[in-house]
Amino acid sequence: MVEAGRGEALEIFSRIPQEAKDILHDLASRWRDVEDHAAMEVVFLTGAMTNEVYQISWPSRGHVASHRAVLLRIYGADFFFDREDEIRTFEFMSHCGHGPRLLGRFDKGRVEEFIHARTLSAHDLREPETSALIAANLREFHDLDVPGPRNIFIWTRLRRWLKLAKDFASPEESADFCLDQMEDEISRLEMELIGGDQRLGFCHNDLQYGNIMIDDVTRTLTIIDYEYSSYNPIAFDLANHFCEMAADYHTETPHVLDFTRYPDPDERRRFAEAYFSSGKEVYGVDLEKLLVDVEKYALASHLLWGLWGIVSKHVNNINFDYGEYARQRFEQYWTRKPIVLGP
C-alpha cells in the first residue's frame, strides 16, 4: 500500500470509530516517548480492496524512527470469509512471529503493529531475486501447522461465492456473466483436479503484491493479510499468485488487468524450483504434474475472483470498478479453458 495523502484531518479522523480511538489513546499513553497523545496523525493507505487501512502515528522523542506508528484496519464486507477464523489465524501468525502483532480489537476492526518495511510493487513480483524470496517464504507459510480442518476449501468457497453472486446480481448481470453455467464449470474443474497426489498446505489464497512486505536492508519478507487463508492444494496458491502478476492496483485504473504479464512457462518453473529448493524435503512432488495442475487451478482463480468482483460491486464502497474486474477474470477463464482443459 502507498500513502494516499492526509486530506482534511478532521474528515479522516471522523471516519475512525470511537472504540478504535480509545484503543489508540490507550496505546499512546503507555509509550513514554510519545510527546503528545493528542498529536495523532492519520494517513489513509490505498491498495486495500476489502478493508479501510490507516497508518496512525505520533511524534516521539528518543525513538529511532522519531515517531510511533501502528496500523488501523477497519473491516469492510465480510461476506467472503469468517471474521473470527481470520482473527484466529492472525493471532496464530503473530504468536509464531510470521506477521504483525495484534495490539487491539474492536467490533469493526483492529489495531496492528506497523511493520517498518515497504509493500512490494507489481514490478517486484517479476524481479528474479525477489520472486525466489517469495517462493521460499510461501513454502514456509504452507508448512505452518495452523489449527483447523485440513480439508481442500477451494471448491466449497467457489460454490459459496457463486450463491452470493446469484443472490446479489440482477437478472441482467446473471445472464451477462453466465452465472447459471458456473456450477457446471466448477464441477468440471473439480473433476479434473480431484484425487491424485496433491500436496496440501496452509495457503494464503490472495498472494498479491500488496500482501507482501520487504525490508530492503535485510531482504526479509513478511506475508500479511490472512482473510482468505485456509488449507488448500499448494498448486492453487501458486496459480493464484501467478494470476496476480497481471494486476497493478496503484494505477489510475487499478481494476485493469494485463494478462500478457502472466509468467511464461520458464518463469513458472523457476518459481516452483525455488519453492522446493527452499525446504529440506521435496515430498516426492512430481514437478511436471504440479505445473500442469497450476494451470488448471489458475482457471479456478479466475472464477473465484470473478465471483468476488460481482459480490463486491454490490457490498463495497471502495473506489474500484469491481464489475469490470469480474468481467476480465471471466473472460480470461473462457479464453484459457480450451487451452488448458481441451474442448
Q: How confident is the model at residue 15 (pLDDT cuts 50, 70, 90)?
A: confident
Q: Which three cell numbers stand for residue 5?
A: 495523502
Which structural domain range is residue 320 located in? Answer: 119-341
User: pLDDT (tens digit, 9 = 90+) per residue, 145-183?
Assistant: 998 889 999 999 999 999 999 999 999 999 999 999 999
Residue 206: give its domain's CATH number: 3.90.1200.10
Measured CA to CA, the distance from residue 114 to residue 118 in angstroms comes to: 11
Q: How confident is the model at residue 43 (pLDDT cuts 50, 70, 90)?
A: confident
Measured CA to CA, the distance from residue 273 to residue 268 in angstroms comes to: 9
Based on the fold, state whether residues 207 and 139 are members of the same structural domain: yes
Measured CA to CA, the distance from residue 105 to residue 89 in angstroms comes to: 14
- Does residue 26 have a pLDDT over 60? yes
Q: Can you give the pTM of this predicted structure?
A: 0.87
User: Rg of the chain over CA atoms, in angstroms?
Assistant: 21
Residue 109: give its domain's CATH number: 3.30.200
Kind plus residue range of the DSSP H or E element containing 131: helix 128-142
Q: Which three cell numbers stand for residue 290?
A: 504440479
Q: What's the pLDDT score for residue 94?
A: 83
Based on the fold, state whether residues 128 and 267 are members of the same structural domain: yes
Based on the fold, state whether residues 275 and 144 are members of the same structural domain: yes
Based on the fold, state whether residues 97 and 131 are members of the same structural domain: no
Q: How confident is the model at residue 283 (pLDDT cuts 50, 70, 90)?
A: low
- What is the pLDDT of the chain when averaged over all its residues? 89
Cα angle value 186/191/192 (rounded, 5°) = 100
Based on the fold, state whether residues 142 and 271 are members of the same structural domain: yes
Rounded-to-10 torsion of CA 255, 337, 206, 97: -150
Q: How confident is the model at residue 281 (pLDDT cuts 50, 70, 90)?
A: low
Based on the fold, state whether residues 157 and 50 are members of the same structural domain: no
Based on the fold, state whether residues 195 and 271 are members of the same structural domain: yes
Residue after which a domain boundary falls, among 114, 133, 155:
114
Residue after which a domain boundary falls, among 114, 132, 147:
114
User: pLDDT (tens digit, 9 = 90+) per residue, 181-239?
Assistant: 999 999 999 999 987 778 999 999 999 999 999 999 999 999 998 989 999 999 999 99
- Does residue 55 have a pLDDT over 70? yes
Between 96 and 114, the higher pLDDT residue: 114
Based on the fold, state whether residues 102 and 164 are members of the same structural domain: no
Decide: 48 and 318 in contact? Cβ < 8 Å: yes
Between 92 and 246, the higher pLDDT residue: 246
- Does residue 1 have a pLDDT over 50? no
> How many folded domains does the chain comprise?
2
HSE, side-chain direction, 13 A CA sphere, residue 22: 7
- Does residue 280 have a pLDDT over 70? no
